[in-house]
Structure 1
């Protein structure tokens, strides 16, 4: 069991974020769930699922790339649930799969704003709240195998996930004296709804090749990632901090 009581999971409407929210509820936490406005109905069903597990839950509509929205989201969670102990900055986008020379500056900015700026803002405002509470906490963010080894045709995505590495290390050093651990998880190919939105070339490169390269000859499922996040939110992980993207990729990349 986690010594903490309240979690917030961003990008929770589907895929990995949804699996993480469910798992943390199973672990005994109350879970606030976030996504953008177009995912409101999916969040409503998730809130119902969590409540059926006997845990409190609430919906937070916010764009994690917008500072004021993140600040207000954290304030909303504290108001509704009495505090915030575990922040999972899971929200992210892959961007368009195209050759490097075809990536526009606007595309670069869009991906960096959600993935890197979003993680920064979640760490910042959740960290401020945890320091104020004085009982420690867990800051956890989503990186990727592409944040450990550059991925062709996804330069902005790779750069944004590499950024999470430096962000996590810096945050771990500053928040550690307050009993707050800061870690990131780095999935490989995971079977989520995003997979179906990719074109055939991206499907082949990101999923078929990953499955072939894996010693296990398989790709992941969202619950695999949720299992790791569950551990990072528990007391047993108290001596792990600044872990730069714990690999969970089926063996396609060894650190």
Structure 2
């Protein structure tokens, strides 16, 4: 069995892990609703999906705005003819000592990383129920959702919160046939880690590249994670082989954090 013909919506799909997820799910047979803030990047991903032979739609949305998330799902259903899989992938990072976090910084990251996931869970579950069908909701947590890291405390708090939302939603929506899981990557070679490394350099004086090298050095499998590594696991969560799994947030980090 596969996800052939299913419709999957991926937030933050214009680049990095989100792009890799969109392309992997397209390769596995799904039509892809691409949601992001950058229309040029969305168009590029849509073209790649089309080359694979699957349908694609694009919708510009800020996931911290509840109504825009609902609109994105309605648009995906209308343009792609269904709605089966919700990937709450969009997120931002913040590198800051706890003592220096401002109210504005706190609010910004929680609005995207936590509210964005909550609105995605709400909107997807509502749509699945309207369509009287089962569905899958999958959200981005992190190794920082299992263990706090210095200078990444508020970011970690948002990722712990994603795990809490995942567990609660799994319990609330199980009777409707909706499964809710999360994925927890480690050190992935994307623009987000470029930003993390840059900020550590600013705040600690470490040379550019040194923080990234330090964290990669702690990976048991001996290399940084790729977006495709994450996408392969999300593909499993999206497909029928994970139908008996709900409320979980497994680590996929090459061997960094062990739970």
CA RMSD of aligned residues (A): 1.3
* Map of 2:26 onto structure 1: 25
Q: Give the 3 Å change call, closer, same or farther, for CA 149–47 of structure 1 in structure 2.
A: same
1:221 corresponds to which of 223, 226, 233:
226
Report 1:233-248 matches (<5 A).
233-243=238-248, 245-248=249-252
The alignment of Structure 1 onto Structure 2 pairs a total of residues equal to 250
Equivalent-residue separation in structure 2 for 1:117 and 1:73 (angstroms): 15
Q: Could you say which residue in structure 1 is the equivalent of 2:258?
A: 254
Alpha carbons 2:4, 2:29 under 8 Å: kept: no
**Aligned residue runs from structure 1 range 56-95, under 5 A:** 56-95=55-94
CA distance in 1, matches of 2:156, 2:199: 20
Task: Give structure 2 stretches of 5+ with no counterpart.
Answer: 202-208
1:192 to 190, 193, 201: 190
TM-score, length basis structure 1: 0.95
Q: 1:204 aligns with which of 192, 210, 223?
A: 210
Residue range with higher mean Cα deviation, 14-23 or 207-216 = 207-216
TM-score (norm 2): 0.93
Q: Is the 8 A contact 1:4 1:85 kept in 2?
A: no
Q: Deviations over 1:134-165 (max 9, x none)?
A: 22011000000011001111121111000001
Task: Note the residue ranges of structure 1 that are not aligned, 5 or more in a row.
Answer: none
| Alignment of structure 1 residues 144-155 onto 2, 5 Å | 144-155=142-153
Q: Matches of 2:4 and 2:25 in 1, distance apart?
A: 12
* 3-state SS in 2 of match to 1:213: coil
- 1:109 is paired with a residue whose SS is helix
Match in the other structure for 1:13: 14
CA distance 1:99–1:236, shift in 2 (3 Å): same
Tell whether the 8 Å contact from 2:20 to 2:231 is kept in structure 1 after alignment.
Answer: yes
- Structure 1 residue 209 displacement after superposition: 2.4
C-alpha separation in 2, matches of 1:200 and 1:82: 43
